[in-house]
Structure 1
Amino acid sequence: MSNWKTAFRSFYYENAKDPDDIILDPARTALLVIDIQNTYLETPDDKAEADRWQPFFDRMNHIVIPNNARLIEWARAEGIEVMFARIACQTEDGRDRSLSQKKPGFNYLLLPKERKDSQIVDALAPKGDEIVVTKTTDSALTGTNLRLTLQNIGIRNVIVSGIFTDQCISSTVRSLADESFEVLVVHDACAAATDELHERELEIINMIYCHVVGLDDLQGFVVPVLH
């Protein structure tokens, strides 16, 4: 297993000193699971397109969803706030969507909030009063009241997982960093369309907008603090 302090370094940080040890106070930490929704597990009707996306489906089914299930259960057991973000519009015709979700191609997203394909996958379903924000933007911070919610709860550290690493994960992480939250991205609980895109984006955001860590690293970061 690679050392999180030295892995995923871009050109900018090749020679930077190692970051300090991470200390997470559960009372000031939230887990944010982003966009793991039914729509992204639907196999395209076109065989060539289905074959093109098969590596992504394999990563989701065998790595990302199981690891997020572990991550969520770990957070619940530690007393860390578990939160979710999903893409969903308020209107049936999607007129409330941001421009990026109205453009043709992969990013064209019409996911009315009550429709089955817009829901979080059953394996990761929220429990009790866990907070779910809906967004029509890439950033879960820009397009929702998440910033205010995090502040109201007293959160300073945000652990991020989900999809897509190079799109909604990256956008959210950058927004959180600009608001001075401490951000961790769990690399083996995220995915992009390809592993190459996934790893490249991790290099881009690591050490400036977040620290990229593995699921197994997290347990060693939690230190309860008396308030």
Structure 2
Amino acid sequence: MSWKTSHRSFYYENAPEPDVPTLLPHETAMLCIDVQNYGMVQHEDPAERARWEPFHTRMRGTVIPQMKAMQERFRRNGIDVIHARIACLLDDGRDRSLSQKLPGWNNLLMPRTTEASQIIPELAPAPGEIVVTKTTDSALTGTNLRLILSNMGIRNLIVTGIYTDQCVSSTVRSLADESFFVVLLEDCCAAGTDELHQRELEIINMIYCHVMSSDELVGLMGLS
């Protein structure tokens, strides 16, 4: 099954196959979202460690290697790689959005200089690459990324990162609302569970983005 027919929701179950997009290199960028040290820490509690083990297995076995390979391909072909990360500008986190202040798992207090807020070494920005710091889920609404993309003439975003059903989805939706063309690489993303990951792909596919595999994008763009 190809990207044209996979990950279909109820709304698009019987929709015609989409046209093959034209992704010109100078109008396209890869966006890497929130693959930071905090997300790769193993839980001390054995029950929580076991609960999160499938996520860490997917990250180490699939997502990080695939993202790294795609970053290298984009750089080799002269296509911009842009990074977004969650971090607050104030140590007490007063500048965070409400969604990051509410009690619960999403309550993230990570000042920008802390080790937890840094992008993991395997996917670290190359010299000169743009890094935006956000205090919201969406990399578009929480930063000046919209202006940056406009100034650079970027119309197409290849989105990767974590978590599929949270910051990735929020960014994809924001980009679509601003009339950017979005491709989400399904093997370069992860959610807390595979069920959440797959469900979110189905929800956002064909309306906010087109979900593809890395190999499908490489073939479509003719990346070396």
TM-score (structure 2 length as normaliser) = 0.98
Shift of 1:223: 6.5
Q: In 1, Cα distance between the equivalents of 2:22 and 2:177?
A: 20
Q: In 2, Cα distance between the equivalents of 1:162 and 1:76?
A: 17
Partner of 1:102: 101
Is 1:25–1:223's contact at 8 Å kept on the other side of the alignment? no
User: Residue 219 of structure 2: SS of its match in structure 1?
Assistant: helix
Partner of 2:137: 138
Q: In 2, Cα distance between the equivalents of 1:187 and 1:129?
A: 27
Q: Which amino acid aligns with 1:174?
A: R
Partner of 1:115: 114
- Worse-matched range after superposition: 193-202 or 215-224: 215-224
Q: In 2, Cα distance between the equivalents of 1:129 and 1:51?
A: 39
User: Residue 154 of structure 2: SS of its match in structure 1?
Assistant: coil
Q: Which amino acid aligns with 2:96?
A: R
Is 1:93–1:110's contact at 8 Å kept on the other side of the alignment? yes
1:19 aligned onto 2:18: yes
User: Residue 157 of structure 2: SS of its match in structure 1?
Assistant: strand
Q: Which amino acid aligns with 1:112?
A: P
Shift of 1:222: 2.1
* Superposition map of 1:179-190 within 5 A: 179-190=178-189
- Between the two proteins, what is the percent identity of the paired residues? 61
Partner of 1:170: 169
Instruction: Count residues in correspondence.
Output: 223
Partner of 2:42: 43
1:32 aligned onto 2:31: yes
Shift of 1:95: 1.0
Q: In 1, Cα distance between the equivalents of 2:142 and 2:32?
A: 15
Shift of 1:220: 2.2
Partner of 2:220: 221
1:193 aligned onto 2:192: yes
Alignment gaps of 5+ in structure 1: none
User: Residue 81 of structure 2: SS of its match in structure 1?
Assistant: strand
Shift of 1:79: 1.5
Q: Which amino acid aligns with 1:98?
A: S
Q: In 1, Cα distance between the equivalents of 2:220 and 2:83?
A: 22
| Deviation readout 1:101-145 (Å, 9 max, x if unpaired) | 011111010010010110000000101110000001000000000
Alignment gaps of 5+ in structure 2: none
Q: Which amino acid aligns with 2:111?
A: P
* Superposition map of 1:60-79 within 5 A: 60-79=59-78
TM-score (structure 1 length as normaliser) = 0.96
- The alignment yields a C-alpha RMSD, in angstroms, of 1.0
Q: In 2, Cα distance between the equivalents of 1:77 and 1:222?
A: 13
| Deviation readout 1:131-185 (Å, 9 max, x if unpaired) | 0000010000000000000000000000000000000010000000000000000
User: Residue 33 of structure 1: SS of its match in structure 2?
Assistant: strand
Q: In 1, Cα distance between the equivalents of 2:205 and 2:51?
A: 28
Name the CA shift for 1:170/1:84 in 2 (closer, same or farther; >3 Å): same
Is 1:183–1:209's contact at 8 Å kept on the other side of the alignment? yes
Q: In 2, Cα distance between the equivalents of 1:176 and 1:167?
A: 14
Q: Which amino acid aligns with 1:143?
A: G
Q: Which amino acid aligns with 2:114?
A: R
Partner of 1:10: 9
Q: Which amino acid aligns with 1:168?
A: C
Is 1:87–1:135's contact at 8 Å kept on the other side of the alignment? yes
